[in-house]
Structure 1
Amino acid sequence: MAWWHCNKPTSLTNTSTSHTLFITIAFAFFISQSFGARILQPHNSLPFIWPLPAKFSFGNETLSVDPTLSLTGNGAASPIVRAAFDRYKGIVFKNSNSYGFLRTVNVAYDVTKLNVVVRSKSEELQLGVDESYNLFVAKVSGSGGITIEANTVFGVLRGLETFSQLCSFDYSTKTVQIYKAPVSIRDKPRFPYRGLLLDTSRHYLPIDVIKQIIESMSYAKFNVLHWHIVDTQSFPLEVPTYPKLWKGSYSKWERYTVEDAYDIVNFSKMRGINVMAEVDVPGHAESWGAGYPDIWPSPTCRSPLDVTKKFTFDVLSGIMTDIRKIFPFELFHLGGDEVNTDCWTNTTHVNKWLQVHNMTANDAYQYFVLKAQSMALLKNWSPVNWEETFNTFPRKLHPRTVVHNWLGPGVCPKVVARGLRCIFSNQGVWYLDHIDVPWDVVYNAEPLEGIHEASQQKLVLGGEVCMWAERADTSDVQQTIWPRAAAAAERLWSTTQYTSGGNSNSTAFSRLQYFRCLLNRRGVPAAPVTNFYARTAPIGPGSCFDQ
């Protein structure tokens, strides 16, 4: 899944420099002519908020916000809310904090308090947690003017992000302003699963870089980091029960300790983001044998893992036991894709085992996947598998299985028709390493395409964009992710009332450019929206809002 699908963009980037430059300039000129005049003029009813809220109304007043804004309400008792309030206060008042002397001036600010009301004391983060919120901004004497109401602290986090996007720094007055007040927003996500896959096996990503990506995910209201930790090329994760697995890392400096993994999970939770770990078996696991070569069918035929040996499943069980202590999310990804069984049929002892058990190689593939599923279920995980498992033996998968689509369209309709859950990641539209896929193709993808019954639509958990890393590392991973990932984020969060049909692309375009500039201001190196190829540099001088 993760090697073949990267070849397409590589061939494109091998075009001659002059030809590529011509196409890029032509595309940028077309965009500027088609949309340039509307860059700062979205549809009159649409605010500069990304992703777009479900319901909203605005007025015509402008309110000033006190840089000493205080947090009130019962939400102030939550460490998650308090930490988020401090983060967003730092973002909103970044400019005004540079002018500390202004605080000594006797200024009557319109907004001095942010009142947060949370209805539930539970702070457990799991799939389907209530992320809805109501946000109200009005000039009301003595009350502070801003209220966020939510059923959970995670709804508050989404409300705080929206609040931060309502705030703008006025360079003339050197104050933070909220325009178009009074504001009333009632918002909730369209799908419970809104994910980004991050591959740290093909290229190691330092912890700080992973945290930067998680932070930026929260700006777009993503709620699942799919951590594709290990693969054929490297095994960077510490597994105390089987410590030699670490020998599969690229180097002794490119590893994640148990403490690192805990840190990532806790950092993510503070931003309302679950972490789903993936251990891809029985293929994509050659790196395991660097420390435990007995797990290979033979020294010269190393993948898939040896299906005949108890030791193979002992190691898999040990990995699961150790990482279950770290990852509380109810979903665990077991891979199961791109399994070439030639090693099994071409290795003498494996071939004999198949004959003794009256199995074909495909039977053994099914046996391995189902055995791994059983092990995950015993640890109270719901197994997630790539779609090849469903395509090969749909009737055998456990009823709690979540099928992860990637090969193309039309899979989720078949999955939900059988009563299983599905995650949409069609590689043609939501694989970020396909750098020739423009933002509007990402934006127009529809996870519910071909699914019309409400009962089946509910089985589509949502979707995820995938950042495979064969040709992306610390130097360019964030430019490859952003801003195209944000296009999928709005598709997964927002209702289709404003985001589908007639002029949805033109109205979304100006908002996405604004959001890309917002990411840049927050320190996220998001690439220009109008690039013909993702992550390439601007073609010339210009405003952030024109690129």
Structure 2
Amino acid sequence: MMGKIVWVLLVVLLFVQAVLAIDGVSVDRLNIWPMPHSVSHGRESLFLSKDFELNTEGTKYNDGSGILKDGFSRLLEMLRVAHVADGNFSKIDTSLLLQGLHVVVLSADDQLQYGIDESYKLSVPASGKPGYAYLEAHTVYGALHGFQTFSQLCLFNFTTRVIEVPMVPWTVIDQPRFSFRGLLIDTSRHYLPLPVIKNVIDSMAYAKLNVLHWHIVDTQSFPLEIPSYPKLWDGAYSVSERYTFADAAEIVSYAQRRGINVLGEIDVPGHARSWGIGYPSLWPSKDCPEPLDVSNEFTFKVIDGILSDFSKIFKFKFVHLGGDEVNTSCWTLTPHVKKWLTKHHMNESQAYQYFVLRAQNIALSHGYEIVNWEETFNNFGNKLSRKTVVHNWLGGGVAEKVVAAGLRCIVSNQDKWYLDHLDTTWQQFYMNEPLTDITNPNQQKLVLGGEVCMWGEHIDGSDIEQTIWPRAAAAAERLWTPYDNLAKDPRQVTGRLAHFRCLLNQRGVAAAPLGGPGRVAPEEPGSCYTQ
């Protein structure tokens, strides 16, 4: 009985938060996700004019590629997607109409890369001062983040039937806490069609995530065309479940125009059985196909060819080479590989190290820095290239050891940031701190950021969005918002996250309810804001 009473009280509390949130105010005062670095607001309202426009007078950025213009067009779509804004503007005082958004980008360079300046300053004037909202950013990608924040300041007014900006004047000064804010998708366990991947990219931009880690191939399938070795994609599930080289380039371009880098991954030497469907000589033997044959020079020629082709489209400074979960028993069970090990005076673990380091050198030759899963560090960390980023996944405490050794780290500990772990709640995602027990400022800088992982064993186009969201948004705030601005108790942000989840739904993203672990369905009829 007591449990039922507590549950009813919780529902009532969420409902009160929701009612306030509908008016643009919550118990958190603001419905912006992730929470900005600094924000202030007033108590008045403005309305977007019918011809709300982009003004770029005075900017150094010429937008020859159209990134800024396209971003503004998407902003208008975000504002108008939930309702038809068919209000009569003649009935609105012109002193309350906001004519447009004046954007100034200080850098002419729109190259997207790790560590670019993503900061922005956004101001919306008070009522009675018609004119433009003002957005200043060092790069066009900071401006795109400013567009996302501006979209969350607006709502549809059901009385005037136009878009309102309540709580003016606004001043937002913002920048990310970490430069690497990632989401992994897995297209080997289940093929994800291009529109599905593009929808994921769009939703990432809403939450200011900026790295799509594309785990393209694995044991189960090899869906990507590699022009240098065209039989590799014979390992796809079917002839229609493939990505052409042009498809991959399109994904990279689509993401880049939204401020998102694409981190391509080939996982070697394990997780690579599918490679041998097209090229059987990559297997130690037909009966023992994994890991890749360390004794065969052709293995490394193929890796070189893949990374050469990668370098033509994957322009992010990092490439992911995997290196995890390597069961080396096939090497000692296969006579010709065992003979090679004996000749080169290597045991299994030494051969594993040899393979990883040689793959690293190939990647370096193509201009990449390397990301490897943490097993490589756990087994031979002091031998890794100093250009290695260690990708934590097995649990906590690894980042602390990695940065103490002077290497860089990305945090994805599976107990808190694996989206396929459906029993992990959004609260656990929110409270996972990448800098746990790392107090030295110089070592803190070596933590590039973090990544939530959407492994695909039980995920395809039918359920990927509701498995990612809203839990990925909880991690996104942890990675964007200054530590001192983060809630110390996730209950403090429940209403605001519920509001963001409903905003995702309004934009066509199938984000699941908050009231449970991952990928839950609504329990009963009710408001979006109370689920």
TM-score (norm 1): 0.92
1:530 aligns with 2:515: yes
How far apart are residue 73 of structure 1 and its match? 2.1
Find 1:230's aligned residue among 200, 214, 217: 217
User: CA offsets, 1:382-432, max 9 Å, x none?
Assistant: 000000000000110000100000000000000000110000000000000
How far apart are residue 31 of structure 1 and its match? 4.6
| Mapping 1:120-519, distance limit 5 Å | 120-139=107-126, 144-501=131-488, 504-519=489-504
1:542 aligns with 2:521: no
Unaligned stretches of 5+ residues in structure 1: 1-23
How far, CA to CA, are the matches of 2:504 and 2:242 in structure 1?
29
| Mapping 1:1-80, distance limit 5 Å | 31-32=10-11, 35-41=14-20, 46-74=29-57, 77-78=62-63, 79-80=66-67
Contact persistence 1:115–1:144 (CA under 8 A): no
**CA 1:257 to 1:294, structure 2 compared with 1: closer, same or farther past 3 Å?**
same
Contact persistence 1:234–1:249 (CA under 8 A): yes
Find the counterpart in structure 2 of residue 6 from structure 1: none
> 1:32 is matched by which residue type in structure 2?
V
How far, CA to CA, are the matches of 2:161 and 2:62 in structure 1?
32
How far apart are residue 38 of structure 1 and its match? 3.3
**CA 1:351 to 1:33, structure 2 compared with 1: closer, same or farther past 3 Å?**
farther
User: CA offsets, 1:300-326, max 9 Å, x none?
Assistant: 000000000000001111111111101
**CA 1:26 to 1:236, structure 2 compared with 1: closer, same or farther past 3 Å?**
farther
User: CA offsets, 1:55-95, max 9 Å, x none?
Assistant: 01111111111131011124584211110001111211335
Contact persistence 1:198–1:226 (CA under 8 A): yes
How far, CA to CA, are the matches of 1:226 and 1:489 in structure 2?
15
Percent identity among equivalent residues?
A: 52
What secondary structure is seen at the aligned counterpart in 2 of 1:87?
Answer: helix
Contact persistence 1:499–1:508 (CA under 8 A): no
What secondary structure is seen at the aligned counterpart in 2 of 1:286?
Answer: coil
User: CA offsets, 1:215-258, max 9 Å, x none?
Assistant: 00000000000000000000000001100001000000000001
Contact persistence 1:202–1:231 (CA under 8 A): yes
How far, CA to CA, are the matches of 1:336 and 1:57 in structure 2?
47
> 2:287 is matched by which residue type in structure 1?
T
How far apart are residue 36 of structure 1 and its match? 4.5
**CA 1:467 to 1:63, structure 2 compared with 1: closer, same or farther past 3 Å?**
same
How far, CA to CA, are the matches of 1:308 and 1:31 in structure 2?
62
What secondary structure is seen at the aligned counterpart in 2 of 1:285?
Answer: coil
How far, CA to CA, are the matches of 2:373 and 2:421 in structure 1?
19
How far, CA to CA, are the matches of 2:507 and 2:194 in structure 1?
19
> 1:484 is matched by which residue type in structure 2?
R
Contact persistence 2:81–2:507 (CA under 8 A): no
Find the counterpart in structure 2 of residue 17 from structure 1: none
User: CA offsets, 1:482-514, max 9 Å, x none?
Assistant: 00000000000001223132xx41221100000
**CA 1:37 to 1:95, structure 2 compared with 1: closer, same or farther past 3 Å?**
closer
Contact persistence 1:442–1:487 (CA under 8 A): yes
How far apart are residue 334 of structure 1 and its match? 0.1
User: CA offsets, 1:337-362, max 9 Å, x none?
Assistant: 00000100111111111111110100
Unaligned stretches of 5+ residues in structure 2: none
Contact persistence 1:123–1:153 (CA under 8 A): yes
> 1:102 is matched by which residue type in structure 2?
N
How far, CA to CA, are the matches of 1:239 and 1:252 in structure 2?
15
Contact persistence 1:96–1:175 (CA under 8 A): no
> 1:266 is matched by which residue type in structure 2?
S
Contact persistence 1:69–1:113 (CA under 8 A): yes
How far, CA to CA, are the matches of 2:69 and 2:424 in structure 1?
39
**CA 1:115 to 1:81, structure 2 compared with 1: closer, same or farther past 3 Å?**
same
How far apart are residue 206 of structure 1 and its match? 0.3
How far, CA to CA, are the matches of 2:459 and 2:486 in structure 1?
30
Contact persistence 2:469–2:501 (CA under 8 A): yes
How far apart are residue 141 of structure 1 and its match? 6.6
> 2:347 is matched by which residue type in structure 1?
T
How far apart are residue 25 of structure 1 and its match? 9.4
How far, CA to CA, are the matches of 1:73 and 1:283 in structure 2?
51
How far, CA to CA, are the matches of 1:281 and 1:27 in structure 2?
51
Contact persistence 1:451–1:457 (CA under 8 A): yes
How far, CA to CA, are the matches of 1:268 and 1:517 in structure 2?
24
Contact persistence 2:85–2:161 (CA under 8 A): no
TM-score (norm 2): 0.95
**CA 1:131 to 1:25, structure 2 compared with 1: closer, same or farther past 3 Å?**
farther
**Alignment: residue pair count:** 521
> 2:35 is matched by which residue type in structure 1?
L
**CA 1:153 to 1:534, structure 2 compared with 1: closer, same or farther past 3 Å?**
same
